[in-house]
């Protein structure tokens, strides 16, 4: 396992991080499965575990808490907030009122007195940066969090938050968690250059593109990823955009084979090769999945392999636009762009 410094924090984290989104009903993962996954990951050298309050509406945090009992000091523990927790209108977002309450709930579910990294799961356009950063700064001073970060923020919002922290003399986000893979390279255009400019650690989610790069989606085979049942439109190969993805996957698989690698090794080695990336978050449902991904822990891609990937999916090109989740509200709501 390789380790890198998380931004400018001085904290050393593994280049592969264990994501716990599949813990519980979403991934049909039992507590025994979660215990085995966490144990195997830690034994392999992974020291960063990432979860969120909304994964299973708290279920993932509870399972992570039980799985790390007795090993808390060995782990850089990260969780997230802002996504809806139930139907009550104020049980979401980045207001001080909600974050103070929800962090306590996350700590209770995790069974810990602090988290190392508390991340805003999405940018909340209803809440000012000053409001959110002020609350997070106070929670850090209280010892309940060590650092705070953002997730899936558009590049301009990352910049705006950095300037707000400076203007109001508040703590700043020290990490960003963007979607990034060989099929989803839009982050290279603006987000990753901005994170490098501000010295942010980068924890990449979906480096296997929801299973497209795991080997589960191949031409002429029945799709075997669990996501296909939840989001069938994303895997319908009669859709032109998905057909383009499938064609790219076949060509990328050939590059991997030519380099003596699995497609998973190529995919994870690709994202961790970017100088802005600190860790790639993997989300296995089984220990078999975990071990196939751990095989990429020491993968270092040569320049000719990276060039071959560029020839198939050009830098900055996004073949998975439905997975972005960072489209500015002005593009989603007609009322915000018309008089």
Extract long-range pairs of 304-310: CB within 8 Å, 24+ residues apart.
Answer: 305/255, 305/259, 305/266, 306/270, 306/273, 308/255, 308/258, 309/182, 309/252, 309/255, 309/266, 309/270
Do the Cβ atoms of 12 and 6 come closer than 8 Å?
Answer: yes
- 205 vs 144, 193, 231, 240, CA distance in Å? 25, 17, 17, 25
| Continuous segment of H or E residues that includes residue 13 | strand 12-14
CA–CA dist 188, 195 (Å, integer)? 10
Q: Where are the beta strands (DSSP E) in 48-127?
A: 48-50, 76-81, 115-120
Which among 248, 252, 210, 250 has a CA at the least distance from the CA of 232? 210
Spatial separation of the C-alpha atoms in residues 37 and 29, rounded to whole Å: 10
189 conformational bin, left if phi > 0, alpha if psi -120 to 50, beta if neither: alpha
Distance CA 175, CA 203 (A): 7
Beta bridge mates, 119:
80, 149
Q: From residue 104, how far is each of 67, 79, 124 by CA, in Å?
A: 19, 12, 20
Closest by Cα among 204, 321, 300, 309 to 248: 309
- Helix ranges restricted to H, 44-85: 59-67
Active-site residues, by number, are: 55
C-alpha dihedral, 41 to 62 to 179 to 254, nearest 10°:
40
């Amino acid at each position: 396992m390789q380790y890198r410094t998380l931004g400018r924090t001085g904290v050393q984290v593994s280049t592969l991080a264990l994501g716990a989104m599949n813990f519980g009903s979403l991934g049909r993962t039992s507590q025994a499965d979660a215990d085995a996954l966490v144990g195997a990951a830690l034994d392999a050298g992974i020291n960063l575990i990432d979860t969120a309050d909304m994964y299973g509406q708290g279920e993932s945090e509870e399972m992570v808490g039980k799985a790390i009992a007795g090993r808390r000091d060995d782990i850089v523990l990260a969780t997230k907030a802002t996504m809806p927790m139930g139907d009550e209108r104020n049980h979401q977002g980045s207001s001080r009122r909600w974050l103070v309450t929800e962090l306590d709930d996350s700590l209770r579910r995790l069974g810990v007195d602090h988290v190392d990294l508390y991340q805003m799961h999405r940018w909340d356009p209803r809440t000012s940066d000053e409001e959110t950063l002020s609350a997070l700064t106070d929670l850090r001073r209280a010892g309940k969090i060590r650092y705070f970060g953002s997730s899936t923020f558009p590049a301009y919002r990352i910049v705006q938050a950095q300037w707000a922290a400076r203007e109001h003399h508040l703590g700043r986000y020290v990490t960003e968690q963007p979607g990034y893979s060989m099929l989803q390279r839009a982050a290279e255009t603006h987000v990753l250059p901005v994170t490098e400019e501000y010295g942010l650690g980068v924890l990449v989610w979906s480096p296997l593109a929801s299973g497209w790069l795991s080997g589960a989606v191949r031409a002429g085979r029945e799709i075997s990823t669990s996501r296909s049942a939840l989001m069938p439109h994303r895997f319908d190969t009669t859709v032109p955009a998905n057909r383009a993805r499938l064609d790219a996957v076949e060509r990328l698989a050939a590059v991997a084979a030519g380099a003596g690698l699995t497609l998973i090794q190529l995919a994870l080695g690709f994202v961790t090769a970017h100088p802005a990336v600190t860790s790639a978050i993997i989300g296995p449902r089984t220990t078999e999945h975990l071990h196939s991904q751990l095989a990429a822990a020491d993968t270092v891609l040569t320049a000719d392999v990276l060039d071959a990937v560029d020839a198939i999916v050009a830098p900055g090109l996004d073949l998975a636009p439905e997975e972005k989740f960072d489209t500015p509200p002005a593009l989603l709501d007609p009322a915000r762009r018309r008089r």
